[in-house]
Structure 1
């Protein structure tokens, strides 16, 4: 693709670079990903990659941002207002866990960034704002449940959200080592559904007000 053509379609070019970069960073991490391979896969050249993202590290941050934004927007768009609070929690948790299972690239990128101790994500100026709508959704649901006498008072929505994500994240991100260590493959539908049901019971049991 020529530079002139790329500049006529900046959004399309940027999207293709992000898609190609996601694949490279997922497979090889930041250190192993090659700028020339990303540019070739995106149908452009390295000059345009640097034009849009300034550096390989800048592109890596953009990929992480896009993945987190997509994850947060998906959950924040759920309409839970018509559901009973307990059912709303179930739907939110199942949606989060489904997203984790269906997006192994996201897990690989997060694991890689944790090896870097999160220092590249810290460069993102607006990343933390993306989680606010999801936490607000959790907060509203918890408050509805508390007002109805179905949930305990004072549950921190961010702590609860991180707990829900953590439950699903561990089972998916560690599925290979869990299988090797225990002989149980949680990627199999029956095992995944069984432990998801257990996690839901644990979450709702915690939320239940003391008698």
Structure 2
């Protein structure tokens, strides 16, 4: 094959590989969210992704490693949808609420992770590395007197996330759904903003 033809085809090959990986991750997200790790079947993922099993194992090595890749991919989508602004923790909490509504599979994957992979400690093996930049932002706000200092940055971060999960699709009390009335979603967002504001921010409320 002429060198020119090989060079011209190479970007298409890389693009095809990225597209295949994307299909695999999307199919695996649905499979793992529905069935967990033990119940998931690579055959079903391969059929849904229009990829053969050998390709999946070549990319990821094992079903467990594929699950970890799926979890990391979904974490990235949540982080992108709800970036932390330590100066406005109430908005962070409501952004998480909206992200959970838009992507309920993320919480299902997190639940399966707790049940089958990591029953203790951080949800992610690289949790400390992922949280470090956020904790630094919270610490900076504490140094400026904007966030209460009687909690550690990690405690602030964990509790804001816990509050954002109050009506999450996996809630053990009342589970929110995207089909709920807009007024109900607005009421929950306002309640979250008030709770987070009064729990962690110092000074006068901005609500």
Structure 1 residues 164 and 172, CA, compared in 2 at 3 Å: closer, same or farther? same
CA contact (8 A) 2:107 2:169 kept: yes
Counterpart of 2:197 (choices 194, 201, 204) is 204
TM-score (norm 1): 0.74
Matches for 1:54-203 after TM superposition, within 5 Å: 54-76=61-83, 80=85, 85=87, 88-116=88-116, 118=118, 126-144=126-144, 146=145, 150-174=146-170, 178=174, 187-203=180-196
Structure 1 residues 43 and 132, CA, compared in 2 at 3 Å: closer, same or farther? same
TM-score (norm 2): 0.75
- Structure showing the higher helix proportion among its residues: 1
Shift of residue 46, structure 1, vs aligned partner: 0.2
| Matched residue, 2:55 | 48
Shift of residue 108, structure 1, vs aligned partner: 0.9
CA contact (8 A) 2:24 2:45 kept: yes
Aligned length: 192
| Matched residue, 2:24 | 17
CA contact (8 A) 1:107 1:173 kept: yes
Shift of residue 123, structure 1, vs aligned partner: 11
What is the alpha-carbon distance in structure 2 between the residues aligned to residue 41 and residue 52 of structure 1? Answer: 16
Shift of residue 29, structure 1, vs aligned partner: 1.4
CA contact (8 A) 1:178 1:185 kept: no
Structural RMSD (CA) = 3.5
| DSSP 3-state at the match of 1:178 | coil
CA contact (8 A) 1:152 1:209 kept: yes
Runs of 4 or more, structure 1, over 6 Å off, are: 5-8, 121-124
Shift of residue 163, structure 1, vs aligned partner: 1.0
What is the alpha-carbon distance in structure 1 between the residues aligned to residue 122 and residue 94 of structure 2? Answer: 29
CA contact (8 A) 1:176 1:185 kept: no
What is the alpha-carbon distance in structure 2 between the residues aligned to residue 137 and residue 207 of structure 1? Answer: 14
What is the alpha-carbon distance in structure 1 between the residues aligned to residue 151 and residue 16 of structure 2? Answer: 47
Structure 2 residues without counterparts, runs of 5 or longer: 1-11
